[in-house]
Amino acid sequence: AQSVTQLGSHVSVSEGALVLLRCNYSSSVPPYLFWYVQYPNQGLQLLLKYTSAATLVKGINGFEAEFKKSETSFHLTKPSAHMSDAAEYFCAVNQAGTALIFGKGTTLSVSS
């Protein structure tokens, strides 16, 4: 079964610093990968998705992610963190065309 692993349950950065959230996938075939964000007491919002069209994927709110097959990774980055980026971030994979299966999540804290 396909799965994703998020390294680091909590990441803290200063406002204006680089954001790097890590996600590794486990799959024998190239998977379709997604990053979602969840603000407190809210649902999940899609940031971006990888569907094999391009290895560098740009999403909303200045986020992007690069698919690296050699490293089985799909890390999420943002050049300059903003206070409003503080939230929970989930990497996900669509398991065999059934439904999204999520990693454990990473809490991003941004300090001024």
Partner 1 sequence: DTEVTQTPKHLVMGMTNKKSLKCEQHMGHRAMYWYKQKAKKPPELMFVYSYEKLSINESVPSRFSPECPNSSLLNLHLHALQPEDSALYLCASSQGRGDSTEAFFGQGTRLTVV
Closest CB to partner 1 among residues 20, 96:
96
Binding mask 71-90 for partner 1 (x = CB under 8 A): -------------------x
Q: Which residues pair with 78 in a beta bridge?
A: 19
Return the range that interacts with partner 1 (CB under 8 A); candidates 12-20, 58-66, 79-87, 102-110.
102-110
Amino acid, res. 106: T
Of 24, 28, 32, nearest to 8 (Cα)? 24
What does R_g of the chain's alpha carbons equal in angstroms? 13
Beta strands in the chain (DSSP E): 3-7, 10-14, 19-26, 33-38, 44-50, 56-58, 64-68, 73-78, 87-95, 99-102, 106-111
To the nearest whole angstrom, how small is the minimum distance from the Cβ of residue 80 to partner 1? 26
Q: Does 54 bind partner 1 (CB under 8 A)?
A: no
Of positions 7, 22, 102, 109, contacts partner 1 by CB under 8 A: 102
Binding mask 13-52 for partner 1 (x = CB under 8 A): ------------------xx-x-x----xxxxxx--x-x-
Distance, CA of 39 to CA of 21 (rounded, Å): 16
Contact footprint for partner 1 (CB under 8 A): 31-32, 34, 36, 41-46, 49, 51, 90, 94, 96-105
